[in-house]
Structure 1
Amino acid sequence: MENTSLYIMSAMYILAGIMHFVKPKAYLRIMPRYLPYHLPLVYLSGVFEIVFGTLLLFPSTQEIGAWGIIAVLIGVFPANIHMLQTNKVKKTWYIIALWVRLPLQGFLIYWAWLFT
């Protein structure tokens, strides 16, 4: 079960990282205005997700990958708050999803911590 969880986590971050390059506009929309260099930061966070997700797959680098994922999750947390604050979508399900996303970050950090 532990390996399955690890593979799911790894795939999730690798895919999310790839999406930073495939659909960068989606990530640019949630970038807080106070951060400079939005597009390079989107690409950089995508690279980090791909690299750390890949590092999870190898026992010798698993701990580095897990700590890297934790750092990325903490680093993108301001974007999640910004997304909630600047939301223009009035659909109830979307607003609920934005609020759920904040504590979900805590769960994702805990999940990655299990592999440190």
Structure 2
Amino acid sequence: MSPARSALVLAGLMASAGIAHFVAPRKFDSIVPRSLPGSPRLWTAASGVAELTLAAGLVLPATRRASARATALFFAGVFPANAKMAYDWRYRSTIARAIAYGRLPLQVPLILWARHAGRENVRRGAVGVDR
């Protein structure tokens, strides 16, 4: 998939996640690390706004590269919330634990996806090649 198309798909994922923070905030509140100051709802709203902002930046070619890098950093930054979720869910059902534990290594491909989305398309001759 071309970086431009990849960026648009990633923008859709980010926008969906951002909207979910406002539609169903409780599930996000519960994974906010307790070490963060302020209320979990504040962090849920802030991360939702961040995801929506990153989505918009990924859509616009002029801001795509910077937004893709910021998205990769965002994915790394939310890792502690995923780790908290995995810890908190350690005694839940096998399926719930699999979901929680599966989110941890998922951050790596998400970061790589964001990096790919920030690359520019390069045409060499008649064949398009991504750098």
TM-score by length of 2: 0.81
Partner SS for 1:30: coil
Match of 1:81 among 80, 83, 88: 83
Identity of aligned residues (%): 34
Which protein has the larger Cα radius of gyration, Structure 1 or Structure 2? 2
User: 1:1-116 counterparts in 2 under 5 A?
Assistant: 1-2=1-2, 3-37=4-38, 38-87=40-89, 90-116=92-118
Question: Matched residues in 2 for 1:5 and 1:13: separation?
Answer: 12
Give the C-alpha shift of residue 90 in structure 1.
2.5
Give the C-alpha shift of residue 89 in structure 1.
5.3
> Number of matched residues?
116
Question: Matched residues in 2 for 1:6 and 1:81: separation?
Answer: 26
Question: Matched residues in 2 for 1:56 and 1:91: separation?
Answer: 37
Partner SS for 2:59: coil
Partner SS for 1:33: coil
Does the 8 Å contact 1:52/1:64 carry over to 2? no
Which structure has greater strand proportion? 2
Where in structure 2 are there 5+ consecutive unaligned residues? 119-131
Where in structure 1 are there 5+ consecutive unaligned residues? none
Deviations 1:44-99 (A, max 9, x none): 11111001111111111001111121121111110000001111652212211222
